[in-house]
Amino acid sequence: QKTDGGQLLDRMRVKTDDHGAFRLSIPGVSLGKPPLARSIILVKHPRQGPSLRCELELPTQLPRGELDLGEHQLIAMPLALAGRVVNDQGEPVSNALMQLKSKFTAAEHAQTYWQSVQGGQSRSDADGRFEIYTKVEDSALQLVTEASGYTRFTMSVHKGQDDVEVNLLRGAFLAGTV
* pLDDT bracket for residue 7 (50, 70, 90): very low
How would you classify the pairing of strands 97-106 and 52-57?
Answer: unpaired
Q: With contact defined as beta carbons under 8 Å apart, do 133 and 159 qualify?
A: no
For residue 54, the cross-strand partners are 42
Model pTM score: 0.62
Mean pLDDT, residues 103-112: 74
DSSP notation for 33-65: S--S-SEEEEEE--SSS--EEEEEEPPSSPPSS
**Strand, helix or coil at 98?**
strand
∠ CA 167-168-171, rounded to 5°: 160
Decide which of 99 and 53 is more confident. Answer: 99
Per-residue DSSP letter, 92:
B
What confidence tens digit (pLDDT) does each residue in 20-29 have? 787 776 655 5
Long-range Cβ pairs for the range 137-140 (8 Å, 24+):
137/102, 138/102, 138/103, 140/102, 140/103
What confidence tens digit (pLDDT) does each residue in 163-178 have? 999 999 998 766 678 7
